[in-house]
Structure 1
Amino acid sequence: MLRHASQEHSEAAEDGTSSNSLKMDFLKIPLNKINEATKDFSEECRVGSGGYGKVYKAKLDIVDIQCLSSMEGKCKDELPKISKRVAIKRISSEAHEYGKQGFLTEIELLATCKHQNIVSLHGYSEENDEMILVYEFVSNGSLADYLLNSDKTRANLTWAQRLQICLDIANGIDYLHTHIEGKRRILHRDIKSDNILLDENLNAKIGDFGLSKFHPIKQQASSVYSKNVVGTDFYTDPEYLNTFKYKRESDIYSFGVVLFEVLSGKLAYDSNYTSKSRTGIAPIARTCFKEGRLEELIDPNLIKEVHNENFKNRRLKEDSFKAFSKIAYQCLKLTQAKRPTNSSQTPNNGSHHQSHHQGASK
């Protein structure tokens, strides 16, 4: 609904290795297996829909490539399969904006990713002109679902839960932005609450990589020139809009918008914000922070939570609000150079990085 119309999508990896090529081959799932699992895409299996198509919940036997240390010399039919609950996205043939390139991009990008805060791709199918992606099933929906909830059908997120969700997002972004063996740096280009999924334990996972892009491997500069603007209104880096140069700091800006959404309990395009600013929460949050009016932004549920604490815990949470909002404000700086960057410069093995964003927990 809010996504910029654009035909620009990620390029295929310039340095595709035989390992990744083999992995993508192992990810192919016969269409008849998907038809069987979804009862021919019946409504009873459908759990959601979006601008690009419908999403179905099913149980499917998949090759567990995440557990394979090496796939060289192995035959796909000989590999053990595991039965898992999965989310199956059937991309509509009318989704021209997403298109074939976006579909292939998501497969190629996610085939290189292995991290607890990135949604796992379990397979795909492209038979009979179908474009189908099979992901791990993340049971609690999106962060946006929680923030949109006004009828209390979902439990209100505590401050501790909100902090952990934000740390998970920061760790996921850090992983994407870090070059490690088998994975190049990735610019997500559409960080927003709709693309943050929560599992049964409220662990956050970044999803939807259709607009993402590998950082050019031979390019020393930290920015990627993008003449067609992509992303989502209210979350898009203003410097990128002016210069068409997308950097890792552009993802950080979008993350800053999400941080203030979490603090306020409202989405960036809530009418409370759009009635005051056409660009939503970001300029309002910057003004409130600079003028010391942060309490105007904080979710009343969090204020109530603080008031129910004893004096010591109350002070700790108030200090935490201040530290959190300072980091969020820094992420929303209008110029890319002034925003925080991920502090980790060393590869990791899928465990959490320490990042500047984690100051929110102190």
Structure 2
Amino acid sequence: MSSWSSPYSSRTSRSGGLRTPERLPNYSSPSPFLQKSTSRRRNTVVKDAFTTFTGAFTKCFTPTSEPKTFKDLGDSDEFKAISDGSSRGGNMAGRRPSRRSFQTTGSNEQIMCTVEPGSVKFSLNEILKATKNFSSSLKIGQGGFGTVYKGQLTDGTFVAIKRAKKIIYDRQLGAEFENEVKTLSQIEHHNLVKCFGFLKHEDERIIVVEYVSNGNLREHLDCMHMEILSLASRLEIAIDVAHAITYLHTYTDHPIIHRDIKSSNILLTEKLRAKVADFGFARLAPDRNSSATHVSTQVKGTAGYLDPEYLMTYQLTDKSDVYSFGVLLVELMTGRRPIEAKKRKEERITAKWAMKKFMDGEALEVMDPNLEKNDANNFAMGKIFELALRCLGNNRRTRPNMQRCVEALWNLRKDYKEISSSIPQIREDEDDYNNNNNNKDYKA
């Protein structure tokens, strides 16, 4: 079921196609990557990685018994100390203090958070005015837990106002609401959706966040905005998302695991810069100074993006976000959703199908048909698939951390630009050659 806190993930499809799967309840040449390698050693290494990767899917959909360490969300505070037998470290030296502040006017009346001192403090009347009493004409998203409205503050700022459904406000939704508010209060990064404030008033649960006007990544991959995302744009989006996740894992006061990285949670600006949204399932990772390796918690996320190791063991780590990022990379290159129920059996799990094609030297067959096949694009897709294969490892210890993913994508961007810049020059040289020959023929 889709969380109410996803800003634009549930927009009505103009094409009437399938939606992104709902959440589960409670290089110098492209040839080495796109053709069969003659190197036995390389094949052995990659095949071993692929064997590990494919084993994940069988386990991913196998029912498991609940571990003894399982803790129900309603019985635990998502942002308390890690309850896996280790204590949180208290050393905060060298960490950037949070610039956001909380202000309370009553336990059951209004609770406000502000981005910085001097920011707008919202009242229920201001929310009603911004949304014209929650006018249906301003509705921009609908999820299982609530509705998202486009609003305008008194200073002219456009915002997204996320309102929970009153009739289903319960313990689980309350935990998600508190999770998102607490997470948003700790983060500040240009590739993350900004929080302006929230309102908790009687049975109203509202979060006010930055309005991102150009829809989400899934809509763009479906060409709902009447434009095709170029491979260069997709690469930049991947880098933006990698930056955002790296920030959450590494540069916040306490490491944060997003737990729901997916294309419908990636919002795009008019300039196609990506912003990661929806922190309803976010969870604090073990403290950096702690010896803990994971957090034992209930499985949450979206089918198709879920880390199979987390699904099997209930052990959540930052590598679970890395796995989801690997699925997202495949989605960017193929244009397909992670689960395509109407495809042939061997193609229904997109990542498994695409990685097998990649291993067989047939990666070009799975490239999004909207993308042009040229040397630069072919090279980039091969490199991205190579990174995706590592991210999709069945064992979390074999997956790279997000900082490594950023570095790999940076290097790819540099190589991609160099190859791309040479393509027009080659064509110009060919045109000049042809024109010269034609002129000689004409003079003769």
TM-score w.r.t. length of structure 2: 0.67
Superposition pairs of residues 113-262 of structure 1, within 5 angstroms: 113-149=187-223, 153-180=225-252, 183-217=253-287, 219-226=290-297, 228-262=298-332
1:358, distance to aligned residue in structure 2 (A): 3.3
1:99, distance to aligned residue in structure 2 (A): 1.0
How far does the alpha carbon of each residue in 1:298-355 deviate from its partner, in whole angstroms, 9 at most, with x for none?
A: 11111xx23xxxxxxx3232211211111111111111111111337xxxxxxxx953
Indicate the percent of aligned positions where both proteins have the same amino acid. Answer: 36
Do the aligned partners of 2:112 and 2:199 also contact (CA within 8 Å) in 1? no
1:21, distance to aligned residue in structure 2 (A): 4.8
Do the aligned partners of 1:171 and 1:355 also contact (CA within 8 Å) in 2? no
1:96, distance to aligned residue in structure 2 (A): 4.3
1:36 aligns with 2:129: yes
Give the stretch that moved more between structures: 6-15 or 97-106.
6-15
Distance 2:269 2:203 in 1: 31
Out of 12, 32, 41, the position equivalent to 2:79 is 12
Do the aligned partners of 1:174 and 1:355 also contact (CA within 8 Å) in 2? no
Superposition pairs of residues 274-285 of structure 1, within 5 angstroms: 275-276=345-346, 280-285=349-354
Do the aligned partners of 1:189 and 1:251 also contact (CA within 8 Å) in 2? yes
How far does the alpha carbon of each residue in 1:253-297 deviate from its partner, in whole angstroms, 9 at most, with x for none?
A: 10111111110011112235574366x212212212222221221
Q: Which has the larger radius of gyration?
A: 2
1:60 counterpart residue number: 153
1:86 aligns with 2:152: no
1:52, distance to aligned residue in structure 2 (A): 1.7
Distance 2:331 2:356 in 1: 15
Give the stretch that moved more between structures: 51-60 or 26-35.
26-35
Call closer, same or farther: CA 1:260–1:320 in 2, change over 3 Å: same
Distance 1:287 1:18 in 2: 44
Q: How many residues align?
A: 319
1:324 aligns with 2:344: no
Call closer, same or farther: CA 1:268–1:296 in 2, change over 3 Å: same
* Aligned alpha-carbon RMSD (Å): 2.5
AA aligned opposite 1:47: I
Call closer, same or farther: CA 1:177–1:356 in 2, change over 3 Å: farther
Distance 1:245 1:11 in 2: 14
1:72 counterpart residue number: none
Distance 2:338 2:354 in 1: 10
Do the aligned partners of 2:98 and 2:187 also contact (CA within 8 Å) in 1? no
Call closer, same or farther: CA 1:248–1:358 in 2, change over 3 Å: farther
TM-score w.r.t. length of structure 1: 0.81
Match of 1:167, SS?
helix
Do the aligned partners of 1:340 and 1:356 also contact (CA within 8 Å) in 2? no
Call closer, same or farther: CA 1:92–1:289 in 2, change over 3 Å: same
1:26, distance to aligned residue in structure 2 (A): 4.2
Distance 1:292 1:18 in 2: 48
Call closer, same or farther: CA 1:266–1:284 in 2, change over 3 Å: same
Do the aligned partners of 2:214 and 2:270 also contact (CA within 8 Å) in 1? yes
* Consecutive unaligned residues in structure 1, runs of 5 or more: 62-81, 307-313, 345-352
